[in-house]
Amino acid sequence: MPTFPKQKPKLNPTDIFKNVRIVLCQTSHPGNIGSAARAMKTMGLNQLYLVQPQKFPDAQATALATGAADLLENVIVTETLSEALTGCAFAIGLSARRRYLSHENVNVREAALQANRIAAAQPIAFVFGTEMSGLTNAELDCCQLLAMIPANPEYSSLNLAAAVQIVCYELRMQALGGVLEGNSNKAYGLDDAAPELATNEDCERFYAHLEETLLHIGYLNPNAPKKLFERLRRLYSRARLEKEEINLLRGVLTLTQVPRKHKKY
Binding residues for a second copy restricted to 40-79, rule: CB under 8 A: 41-44, 66-68
Question: What character string, x for contact with a second copy (CB under 8 A) and - otherwise, covers 93-132?
Answer: -----x--x--xxxx-xx----------------------
Among 18, 23, 33, 9, CA closest to 147 = 23
Confirm or reject binding of residue 183 to a second copy (CB under 8 A).
Answer: yes
C-alpha distances in Å from residue 198, one per residue of 186, 195, 240, 245: 16, 9, 8, 8
Q: How many other CB atoms sit within 10 Å of the CB of residue 11?
A: 17
Q: Which of 11, 69, 77, 215 binds a second copy (CB under 8 A)?
A: 215
Helix 30-42 and helix 160-175, axial crossing angle in degrees, nearest 10: 20
Q: How far is the CB of 126 from a second copy (least distance, A)?
A: 15
Please tell me whether residue 256 binds a second copy under the rule CB under 8 A. Answer: yes
Determine the residue type at 27. Answer: T
Q: What CA–CA distances, in Å, run from 233 to 222, 227, 246?
A: 17, 10, 13
The answer to whether the CB of 147 falls within 8 A of the CB of 92 is yes
Segment lying near a second copy (by CB under 8 A), choices 20-28, 53-61, 72-80, 236-244: 236-244
Task: Tell me whether residue 3 or residue 79 sits nearer to a second copy (CB atom).
Answer: 3
> Does 194 contact a second copy by CB under 8 A?
yes
Does 222 contact a second copy by CB under 8 A? yes
The DSSP element (H or E) to which 245 belongs, if any, is: helix 243-257
Q: Minimum CB separation from a second copy for residue 185, in Å? A: 5
Which positions from 136 through 175 interact with a second copy, judged by CB under 8 A? 148-159, 161-162, 165-166, 169, 172-173
Using CB under 8 A, which of 59, 63, 208, 228 touches a second copy?
A: 228
Q: What Rg, from alpha-carbon coordinates, does the chain have?
A: 28
According to the binding rule CB under 8 A, does residue 21 interact with a second copy? Answer: no
